[in-house]
Amino acid sequence: MSGEPTILRVEVTADPELPLTGGCGCGAIRFEVTTRLISANYCHCTRCQRRSGAAASANARPEPGSFRLLSGEETLRAWRPSGGWEKWFCGECGSAVFSRHPEDPTRMSIRMGAFDADPGIRPSVRQFVAYAAAWEPIPEDGLPSHSQSAHLP
């Protein structure tokens, strides 16, 4: 773990067909991303654990302005925790779709499980590992780990 800002190594695994598409479990919410994703991470914070029901949440960062909601705006709901990013989900099926900065909605992270196909990127850093679930050890996968935020751009 390091207190130094991380230089993200972006692991691109495929040349995905653009636009990338995705949505919620029931299909009410559909979105597209018109450019390649710029980074991806695993978040081990308590909020992500409780929101997802898993030990960590895999998230991908799009270029600002490249995310577009295609349908389902009326079913989107948000949890806006104090001191954190807004967590957006489907009000019909409960699927977590994305999070975004409360003061700058162009800064967002899309839940990697919401994509229809391989988004062509892999998480390259782990953040908030100080809050990691005791019941699932963090794998020794060589990814940089940060006790708090990874200071993503």
149 token code pair: 């935020």
Minimal CA–CA distance to 11: which of 152, 145, 119, 127? 119
CATH of range 19-131; options 3.90.660.10, 2.30.29.30, 2.170.150.70, 2.60.120.10: 2.170.150.70
**Rounded alpha-carbon distances, angstroms, from residue 93 to 50, 75, 76, 132:** 16, 9, 10, 27
Question: Rounded to an integer, what distance in angstroms lies between the CA atom of residue 33 and that of residue 6?
Answer: 25
Q: What is the pLDDT of residue 11?
A: 61
Could you write out the DSSP letters of every residue in 26-73?
SSS-EEEE-S---EEEEE--HHHHHHHSSS-EEEEEPPTT-EEEEE-G
User: Along the chain (153 residues), what's the average pLDDT of each consecutive run of 10 residues?
Assistant: 47 82 98 97 93 94 97 97 93 97 95 97 95 94 90 52
Q: Where are the domains of the chain?
A: 19-131
Q: What is the pLDDT of residue 151?
A: 62
